[in-house]
Structure 1
Amino acid sequence: MSRLLILGALSGPLGVAARMAQSRGAAIAQADHLGTALAHLRGPGADLVLCHVGHDVAGLLRGLAAERIACPVIACGPEESAAEAIAAVRAGARDFLPLPPDADLIAAMLEAAAGHGEGTQAPVARDPAMLAVLARANQVARADASVLITGESGTGKEVLARHIHAASRRARGPFVALNCAALPEALLESELFGHEKGAFSGAVAARRGKFEQADGGTLLLDEIGEMDPRLQAKLLRAIQEREVDRLGGTRPVRVDVRILAATNRDLAAEVRAGRFRDDLYFRLDVVRLKLPPLRERPSDILPLAEHFARRYADANGLDRRLFSMAARAALLRHPWPGNVRELENAVHRAVLLAEGADIGPEAIELAPCAPLPAASPAPAGVEGLVGRKVEEVERDLIIGTLSHCLGNRTRAAEILGISIRALRNKIHDYRASGLSVPAAPGYAVD
């Protein structure tokens, strides 16, 4: 369930947007003023803020940045508010939602807040490999033990985490997720543990971190392998002592939280390399659930595709259609390197592009996936690199990858095979030398 904070009066089109979001499972909170909104974000928190352009969107964003609150903001207002929309996006708003609201846009907005399109869905499983994982997840769901969820990007780690929470004794409590790779160290520390008034410049009031927001419920630490070693030590203490130390605090705050952690890295290898604390690893790895990649659970491909086809047909007001035999064969042939996320995107496109009574293969656009030979680089490419310094080639590769990923640091780091911390250090060096680096999307901070 996404937590949506609305800054503006719940009357007229904004009230309609609130009811649409609520009908899709969002928990709604409302604020009339900027100060009230910031107070809510310091306390219970939210996954997304919907701010009417009649309020000071730029002031809200400045307040969030000053208080180290990493919460995306979407501005909203009448369609004719073009100037206000542009100003809001330039100030750092993730997007602009025209009012009166469109149900599809509301759904997409909530899905983005949940992390991924499949983030709020129950697992779809038919393949024995996935059914075995779900059986084990159900077996441990009602316990309070920490669970480490591993698997490639796009396999549905957050989906499984939400399923565990929903099947647990904490299901009535909050489910709070935090992507440890998406934030720099200082912001991540404040997000996790909160801070007291005056803890740093801009800390005008005390703020509850994700641990306190998840009290009585479940906290998912996604991409845990990217966390800085100093924060790993503080996290370990919080898990062991069941209490957190806010930044600038003088006494610990007791918390009752179940920890789920997710990673696409081999944490045991990270421990051996000295990049991850072994004591924290053993605390998190009480129960391990490894999600198989989609290519290793082929019996799930068609059920998942049918699930997404129904979902996106309904979301776009289209008739539900079945896949033709040729389309089904094309889906089964593809290796799905992007896993469930890639499948979802392909089916979404196919639903929109398909013509006729069914979804044919012509509507399914799939990226070619033939791997290059491991030790056979193109001669022309090598010749183009001869005479250049290694750091120059590395710089061009990193900046080019960032451009390809539209500034998405997490995705670029995955493609490059480096940690998000290493990528941020490179970006800092490039900017310090005067180079232009593609900006991060949304509210991301370098």
Structure 2
Amino acid sequence: QTRLLRVLEEKEVTRVGGHQPIPVDVRVISATHCNLEQEMKQGEFRTDLFYRLSILRLKLPPLRERLPDILPLAEGFLKQSLAELDVPFSEPVRKGLALSQPTLLNYGWPGNIRELRNMMERLALFLSVEPQPELNVQFLQQLLPELATVAAPPQVTSSLTPQQVLAQFNGDKTAAARYLGISRTTFWRRLKENPPVQ
């Protein structure tokens, strides 16, 4: 911590075994899951380094609280993984992934983005064979058994209207209801109770 702070303050580094300082112009992006305020109180993290690093602080919610992001992220990771294997991201694959959206949304994602990327890399390996298997919910759950575990849908507090949530999920009422942590029937009733303002 002391050395990093010195680099940030003096904007120079010295090679291992060297004596001549080398000027550097760097920007540091750091991330942690630790409670740094608590660590500072316990003397585990330097206060001066904390305030030197925390110019712009962003709190990123876990993936399970960002349900509208799951399908676009999954699609992006799958495209990237398939491209690395010289396999095109075909329309049947896109549709199969979209049809699997409720399964993806119902999972708790304890490993966050890394877990989603890992799953899409595994999926890409199996989609790279000839003939390409059909991507559907059954295939996805067989290949990724963790997705087959039934979990209670996350309770999400949302200030959006039912219509806005529905629009976020491109009209998919099941996905919208799951995002709000309510049943499809309850979601349908809320849609009727809150008609769009003309």
TM range (shorter): 0.5 to 0.7
The yes-or-no answer on 1:264 pairing with 2:37 is no
Map residues 273-312 of structure 1 onto 2, 5 A cutoff.
273-312=42-81
Question: Please, which of 4, 12, 23 is the counterpart of residue 254 of structure 1?
Answer: 23
In structure 1, distance between residues paired with 2:55 and 2:150:
36
Structure 1 residues not aligned, in runs of 5+: 1-231, 371-446
Q: Distance in 1 between matches of 2:6 and 2:98?
A: 55
The separation in 1 between residues aligned to 2:24 and 2:99, in whole angstroms, is 54
State how far apart, in whole Å, the 1-side matches of 2:19 and 2:104 are: 57
Higher-RCO chain (CA-CA 8 Å, sequence separation at least 6): 2
TM-score (norm 2): 0.60
Q: Percent identity?
A: 41
Paired amino acid for 1:293: P
Three-state SS of the structure 2 residue aligned to 1:263 is: coil
- How far is 1:369 from its partner? 8.4
**1:327 deviation in Å?**
1.7
The answer as to 2:124 corresponding to 1:351 is yes
SS at match of 1:274: coil
The answer (yes or no) to whether the contact 1:351–1:359 under 8 Å persists in 2 is no
Unaligned 5+ runs, structure 2: 152-198
Q: After TM superposition, list the pairs within 5 Å mapping 1:157-172 onto structure 2.
A: none
Decide which of 108, 125, 131 is 1:335's aligned counterpart.
Answer: 108
Letter in 2 for 1:304: L
Q: CA deviation at 1:324?
A: 5.3
What is the CA–CA distance in structure 2 between the aligned matches of 1:267 and 1:277, rounded to whole Å?
Answer: 9
Instruction: Identify which of 78, 84, 99 aligns with 1:315.
Output: 84
Deviation at 1:359, TM superposition (A): 1.5
> Counterparts of 2:9 and 2:86 in 1: how far apart (Å)?
50
Aligned to 2:169: none
Cα 1:251–1:361 shift into 2, 3 Å: same
The one of 114, 129, 139 aligned to 1:363? 139
Question: Shift of residue 358 of structure 1?
Answer: 4.5
For this pair of structures, how many residues does the alignment match?
139
Deviations 1:143-172 (A, max 9, x none): xxxxxxxxxxxxxxxxxxxxxxxxxxxxxx
| Pair 325,233 (structure 1): closer, same or farther in 2 beyond 3 Å | closer
CA distance, structure 2, for counterparts of residue 318 and residue 251 of structure 1: 50
Distance 1:326 1:256, change over 3 A: closer
- Shift of the 256–353 alpha-carbon distance from structure 1 to 2, 3 Å rule, reads closer
Instruction: State the alpha-carbon separation in 2 of the partners of residues 239 and 324 from structure 1.
Output: 45
Three-state SS of the structure 1 residue aligned to 2:108 is: coil
Q: CA deviation at 1:262?
A: 2.4
**Normalising by structure 1, what TM-score?**
0.28
Contact (CA 8 Å) 1:271, 1:278: kept in 2 or not? yes
1:311 and 1:325, CA in 2 relative to 1: closer, same or farther beyond 3 A? closer
Task: Please name the residue that 2:8 is paired with.
Answer: 239
In 2, are the aligned partners of 1:267 and 1:276 still within 8 Å (CA)?
A: yes
Letter matched to residue 2 of structure 2: A
How far 1:267 moved relative to its partner?
1.8
Distance 1:310 1:247, change over 3 A: closer
Alignment of 1:34-49 (within 5 A): none
* Alpha-carbon spacing, 1:243–1:333, altered in 2? closer, same or farther (3 Å): same
CA-CA distance at 1:333 after TM superposition: 0.7
- Cα separation, partners in 2 of 1:289 and 1:366, compared to 1, 3 Å: farther
Answer yes or no: is the 8 Å Cα contact 1:313–1:351 preserved in 2.
yes
Letter in 2 for 1:266: N
- RMSD over aligned CA atoms reads 2.6
TM-superposition CA deviations, 1:240-260 (whole Å, max 9, x none): 122224444445332222222
Alpha carbons 2:12, 2:21 under 8 Å: kept: yes
